[in-house]
């Protein structure tokens, strides 16, 4: 096996580890679906009555469904670093890093593991949308595209989270920083309202917010069917992901020193 094949194999094995754990016990992920459900059922329902809030003639429920999906994946990913800190504390990380895998393979594997959780959230959200009758484009190719974006997005923020974990080193601090990061990202994106109605300064910030591009891509796939912006969205997301993968691979060893 070549070095690259080995790295890919290691990364998939680490992701498989996560999938097996979810199969044994998915309680945490079920609880994590409560929040997006509330956003959709309560927030969405209330604002649904305001006409013309969502552009393009869509109902508000339709409009925020992609935003809520992105938000729920963001939460799963940004708190993924807590898992890493926990694994460090129990010695699992040391063990993982003493395998022949490269640091990057371990980081990518862990990021893909967050992606696995993201897929779970995606499935839950699609199920919820079907049940409460939010009309989305359930075309198989679109759905596949959404899952691709979700995995990439989860990987991106899981790597950010692992990088932060390398500096913060405790679970408490990770909880704190998670809260600090998620809300501004969420509000400075097009997740729950169009960028066009934001004040100018917020519009500028939202242009640098990866979540904006994620929501835009998912919304194009699930709602508008206008794919013209999607390649650029994915390019931005891919670039950010590669950047954070490199950060996390370089910094991860700080955790075990």
Q: Nearest Cα to 187, choosing from 67, 84, 73?
A: 67
Residue number with CB closer to other proteins (26 or 179): 26
Residue number with CB closer to other proteins (52 or 98): 98
- Scanning the chain, the segments in alpha helix (DSSP H) are 3-24, 27-32, 34-38, 45-47, 60-78, 80-89, 92-97, 103-132, 140-168, 171-187, 200-207, 210-219, 230-251
Binding region for other proteins (CB under 8 A) out of 89-97, 123-131, 182-190, 195-203: 89-97
Is there binding between residue 170 and other proteins (CB under 8 A)?
no
Is there binding between residue 49 and other proteins (CB under 8 A)?
no
Is there binding between residue 1 and other proteins (CB under 8 A)?
yes
Asked if residue 6 lies in contact with residue 100, where contact means CB atoms within 8 angstroms, the answer is: yes
Q: Nearest Cα to 136, choosing from 40, 39, 222?
A: 222
Residue number with CB closer to other proteins (80 or 186): 80
Asked if residue 219 lies in contact with residue 55, where contact means CB atoms within 8 angstroms, the answer is: no
Binding region for other proteins (CB under 8 A) out of 83-91, 116-124, 138-146, 159-167: 83-91
Site mask for other proteins (CB under 8 A), range 15-44, x = bound: -xx--xx--xx-------------------
Cα separation, 3 vs 72, whole angstroms: 35
In the complex, the residues that contact other proteins under the rule CB under 8 A are 1, 3, 6, 9-10, 13-14, 16-17, 20-21, 24-25, 89-92, 94-102, 253, 256-257
């Amino acid at each position: 096996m070549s070095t690259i094949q080995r790295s890919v194999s290691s990364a998939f094995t680490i992701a498989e580890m996560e999938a097996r754990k979810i199969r044994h016990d998915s309680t945490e992920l079920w609880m994590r679906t409560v929040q997006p459900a509330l956003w959709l059922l309560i927030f969405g329902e209330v604002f649904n009555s305001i006409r013309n809030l969502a552009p393009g003639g869509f109902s508000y429920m339709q409009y925020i469904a992609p935003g809520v999906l992105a938000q729920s994946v963001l939460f799963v990913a940004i708190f993924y670093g807590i898992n890493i800190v926990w694994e460090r504390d129990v010695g699992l990380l040391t063990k993982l890093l003493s395998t022949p895998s490269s640091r990057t393979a371990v980081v990518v594997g862990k990021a893909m593991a967050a992606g696995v959780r993201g897929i779970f959230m995606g499935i839950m959200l699609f199920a919820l949308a079907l049940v409460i009758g939010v009309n989305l484009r359930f075309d198989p190719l679109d759905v596949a595209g959404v899952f691709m974006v979700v995995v990439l997005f989860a990987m991106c923020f899981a790597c950010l989270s692992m990088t932060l974990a390398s500096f913060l080193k405790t679970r408490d601090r990770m909880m704190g920083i998670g809260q600090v990061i998620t809300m501004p990202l969420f509000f400075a994106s097009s997740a729950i309202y169009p960028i066009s109605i934001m004040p100018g300064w917020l519009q500028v910030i939202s242009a640098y917010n990866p979540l904006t591009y994620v929501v835009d891509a998912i919304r194009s796939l699930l709602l508008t069917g206008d794919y013209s912006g999607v390649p650029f969205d994915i390019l931005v997301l891919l670039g950010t992901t590669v950047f954070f993968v490199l950060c996390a691979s370089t910094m991860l060893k700080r955790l075990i020193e």
